[in-house]
Amino acid sequence: MEVYARFPDGIGVSEKVFLTLAKFAPDGHLSVVAFDQGNSIKKLLRSFFANARAKSGNQEIYLKEPRDLNFTQISRVFAKTFAGIPNAGLFNDLGYLGPDFRELLGPKTMLIGRLENTNFLSTSDGQGWIPQLGVSPEDVVDRVDAFKTLVKINPWHRESWKASLDWLKDIYERCQKLGKPLFNETRYIPRNVSEIVLAKNLPNTLIEIARVFSPYGDFYKTQVPLLWVQEDGNIVKISSPRIIIETAEEMARVVNRPMLILSAAVDFEQYAAQYACVCDKAAGPMCGRAYWQDPFADPKVTNWYELQIALQKIAIPRMLQIQELARRISKPWWHKFTWLSDEAKDMIETS
């Protein structure tokens, strides 16, 4: 392959990968909105359907248990509602393999396709997570602009740690051969640990995970320490802004890829504060539920049309707020390259 750029660890970026990134984010600003969380979205749909049933009484349309068809339906609502607002959108195969989905999302938004199965395998002792493909990158390469993977990490479980790392290495090699960017996400999710203990372990754990797993992708999507968690209706303070900043600084030091900051199931109020703390260390947001989850639980939202209108009113201003912060403060997606070819420089607005 012809190399257009290189990361500090010597890994090259092909012409195809660079062309894709330059096409959708020529000014360096990359904001990704995530709509791929299968189990989480189905949980939100249960709440929305309950509100819809309470008003309409329609048991046939608004089921107690959402189906794959409903996930496809909400994916299309997301695509129509937010087309062209972020310059990248992340969907899973129930969304992006639907008819004319790429056209529905529009030409200004990069379509990132999730590769991993929503349901991870468990190790024999039940303590570790092992990823598995939901779709093969070779099978969907013509349906998306880029790929995304997620691995769930229990740092103290070496079997799942190694299996996840080997799996990720293989996927990255395959994506490189296909000429598609890979967005590599890690999540610290140990077994049988309370949310408070998990949150307090994040600062040191995130740095070690980043050091080991970040080389296997073109972008590294990571969470940051939590400011607070809710337990039994109470707010429990976890980390100070200083801890969040120091952790992000160390991750930026050990990671040779541009970092994207995920919301990790926090509400928008916390995500906005987290991103403000680390925006100068990152290349952009890659946020999901924090933007758009609220309307699903609103008892006044009782049909698909009302849901789309509520998403427009609530989620779009949130997206624009974080995107503007990223545009003004965050680093361009090419900031980690130690070398750019002349052809690559001609494709981007380095000024």
Give the predicted TM-score (pTM) of the model. Answer: 0.96
Q: Is residue 61 part of a domain?
A: yes
Q: Is residue 340 part of a domain?
A: no
What share of the chain has pLDDT > 90, as a percent? 87
Q: Is residue 219 part of a domain?
A: yes
Q: Is residue 339 part of a domain?
A: no
User: In angstroms, rounded to a whole number, what is the distance separating the alpha carbons of residues 145 and 132?
Assistant: 21
Tell me, what CATH number does 96's domain have?
3.20.20.70
Q: Is residue 24 part of a domain?
A: no
Long-range contacts of 300-307 (CB under 8 A, 24+ apart): 300/51, 301/48, 301/51, 302/51, 302/52, 302/54, 302/55, 302/56, 303/52, 303/56, 304/73, 304/77, 307/48, 307/77
pLDDT digits over 222-246, tens only? 999 999 998 888 899 999 999 999 9
Task: Give the burial string for 123-142 (b: 16+ CB within 10 Å, else e).
Answer: eeeeebbbbeebbebeebbe
Residue 35 host element (H or E): none
Q: Is residue 14 part of a domain?
A: no
Sign of the CA dihedral with 138 first, then 139, 143, and 148 last: negative
Provide the domain count of the chain: 1
pLDDT digits over 267-281, tens only? 999 999 999 999 999
Transcribe 146-208 into DSSP letters.
EEEEEEEE-TT-HHHHHHHHHHHHHHHHHHHHHT--EEEEEEE--SS--HHHHHHHHHHHHHH
Give the residue among 136, 116, 144, 149 at the shortest CA–CA distance from 20.
144
> Is residue 55 very low, low, confident or very high in pLDDT (cuts 50, 70, 90)?
confident
- Which single residue is written with the structure tokens 């999710």? 189
Q: Is residue 21 part of a domain?
A: no
> Which neighbouring-strand residues pair with 339?
6
Domain hosting 215: range is 29-331
- Residue 254 half-sphere exposure, CB side, CA atoms within 13 Å? 16
Do the bridges between strand 228-231 and strand 234-237 make them parallel or antiparallel, or are there none, so unpaired? antiparallel
Q: In the predicted model, what is the mean pLDDT of residues 254-275?
A: 96
> Is residue 316 very low, low, confident or very high in pLDDT (cuts 50, 70, 90)?
very high
User: What pLDDT score does 62 carry?
Assistant: 73
User: What pLDDT score does 60 carry?
Assistant: 63
- DSSP single-letter state for residue 280: T
Sign of the CA dihedral with 58 first, then 62, 67, and 68 last: positive
Q: Is residue 259 part of a domain?
A: yes
Output the CA angle 61-62-68, nearest 5 degrees. Answer: 85
pLDDT digits over 63-88, tens only? 788 889 999 999 999 999 999 999 99
User: What pLDDT score does 59 carry?
Assistant: 63
Q: In the predicted model, what is the mean pLDDT of residues 143-171?
A: 96
